[in-house]
Amino acid sequence: MKQELTSLVPMIRRFAYSLTGSMADADDLLQSTVERVLSKKIPKDVDLNKWVFRVCRNLWIDEYRSRKVRQEAAQQPELSEGQIVDGERAIAGEMELERVNRAMDRLPNDQRSILALVALQGMSYKEVAATLEIPMGTVMSRLARARAALCEILNASPARAT
């Protein structure tokens, strides 16, 4: 089991990052997920891959709810926008990534997690439905709403200078 869990760590880390939008928070969530998985007895007849993603998602929901007020106060976009360096591709790429992360943060948790599992983890709709224990039709409708909302948010944002 530990070997299987070790092979899942990079995918869990990417999923955690997609949920949190911060590498530090993602690493904390990854650590909490691994600790939880190792400390709990794995239910019989459960696919470890799906179970680990579900544990990670549930831990994030718990964490998100417990610190929602503090995060809103700490995440003021004005603080990061003043660090623009013209002409550097790395900075432009980081800014675009931050813009997408902010747009993802505006999505409801259920849409964000499904979008992350499909777009970032490459899971099929069927795998996502099994992982989150929801009907495949729900996965498809939430994903469609998430994609539409993300496009709307990104297109409504002011265009950045080129």
CATH code of the domain covering residue 105:
1.10.10.10
Neighbour-count burial of 6, counting CB atoms closer than 10 A to its CB (0-12 exposed, 13-18 middle, 19+ buried) = exposed
pLDDT at 157: 55
Asked if the structure places residue 80 within a domain, the reply is no
Asked if the structure places residue 39 within a domain, the reply is yes
Q: Which residues lie closer than 8 Å to 61 by C-beta, 6 or more apart? A: 109
Give the three-state DSSP class for 133: coil
CA–CA distance, 142 with 115 (Å, rounded to integer): 8
pLDDT at 139: 93
Place of tokens 């099994």: 130
Asked if the structure places residue 120 within a domain, the reply is yes
pLDDT at 38: 87
CATH code of the domain covering residue 68:
1.10.1740
pLDDT at 80: 47
pLDDT at 73: 55
DSSP string, 32-62: HHHHHHHHSPPPTT--HHHHHHHHHHHHHHH
67 is in which domain, residue-wise?
A: 1-75
Q: Over its length of 162 residues, how does the chain's per-residue pLDDT go in tens digits?
A: 778 888 999 999 999 998 888 899 999 999 999 999 888 887 788 888 889 999 999 998 888 777 665 556 566 555 445 444 445 666 777 778 788 888 888 989 888 889 889 988 888 999 999 989 999 999 999 999 999 998 898 887 554 433
Q: Say if residue 14 is in the same domain as residue 69.
A: yes
CB 33 within 8 A of CB 55: yes
Asked if the structure places residue 121 within a domain, the reply is yes
Asked if the structure places residue 19 within a domain, the reply is yes
Asked if the structure places residue 82 within a domain, the reply is no
Q: Say if residue 91 is in the same domain as residue 160.
A: yes
* Domain C-terminal end among 75, 101, 132: 75
